[in-house]
Chain A
Amino acid sequence: AQSVTQLDSQVPVFEEAPVELRCNYSSSVSVYLFWYVQYPNQGLQLLLKYLSGSTLVESINGFEAEFNKSQTSFHLRKPSVHISDTAEYFCAVSSTQGGSEKLVFGKGTKLTVNP
């Protein structure tokens, strides 16, 4: 079984400041890792994912996340945030073993970018 912990439920930052959203996971098997973003009253959009290979993965809008196996973490970072980044961010994992690819989500982090 897997579990995901997002330590911060809310993160307020000023525009153009850097931000880090933390995600730790627990699993007895190897996992794939994901970050999804949810804008108000919308569905989830895949932001980035780690499946294998380079431990640093990037999104098209400037976010990046690094898989750290020893610390079982997959923190999300952006060096300079915009007002439009205001949203809720969910970290998720799934087992690499076939059979059920269900996602296990953290409780989410609400990022608020203030002018």
Chain B
Amino acid sequence: NAGVMQNPRHLVRRRGQEARLRCSPMKGHSHVYWYRQLPEEGLKFMVYLQKENIIDESGMPKERFSAEFPKEGPSILRIQQVVRGDSAAYFCASSPLEALETQYFGPGTRLLVL
């Protein structure tokens, strides 16, 4: 059973470009979470999604950031017009419906904004 998959593992963007981060949950998991890890900080919750629904986006910045989890395909975290402060590691986690309290993390995408 493959774990949570994220791609790309590393992403370099120039200021003003768009960044798209992808997350494929573990097989059978229908719930996805995105977290951001800034240097020397713990992980901060961003958004929680089910298929085709955003359940909790209380941690998402108000502008430039969006997330989706379509019926088919991976979950996407999209950052428009990136700025240097967006440089961070972005982690996706998934959990099964029968055990929502336990989240399994992917390897992360490390975004560097030049």
Contacts and interface: CB of A to CB of B under 8 A. Distances in A.
Contact of B95 (A4, A92, A101): A101
Contacts of A90: 42-43
Determine the main DSSP class of B at the interface with A.
strand
A102 B44 CA distance: 9
Interface residues of A, number: 27
A93 to B, nearest CB: 11
Contacts of B40: 107
Interface in B47-64: 48, 55-56, 58-59
B72 interface: no
A43 B43 contact: no
Contact of A94 (B58, B101, B108): B101
B98 interface: no
B48 A102 contact: yes
Given A42-B107, A46-B102, A101-B95, A106 B56 contact: no
A46 B55 contact: no
Contact of A100 (B41, B42, B48): B48
A101 B44 contact: no
Contacts of B41: 107
A63 interface: no
B81 interface: no
Interface of B: 4, 6, 31, 33, 35, 40-45, 48, 55-56, 58-59, 91, 93, 95, 100-108, 110
Given A4-B42, A90-B43, A107-B40, 10 more contacts: A6-B42, A41-B110, A49-B101, A49-B102, A51-B101, A100-B48, A100-B56, A101-B103, A103-B33, A103-B35
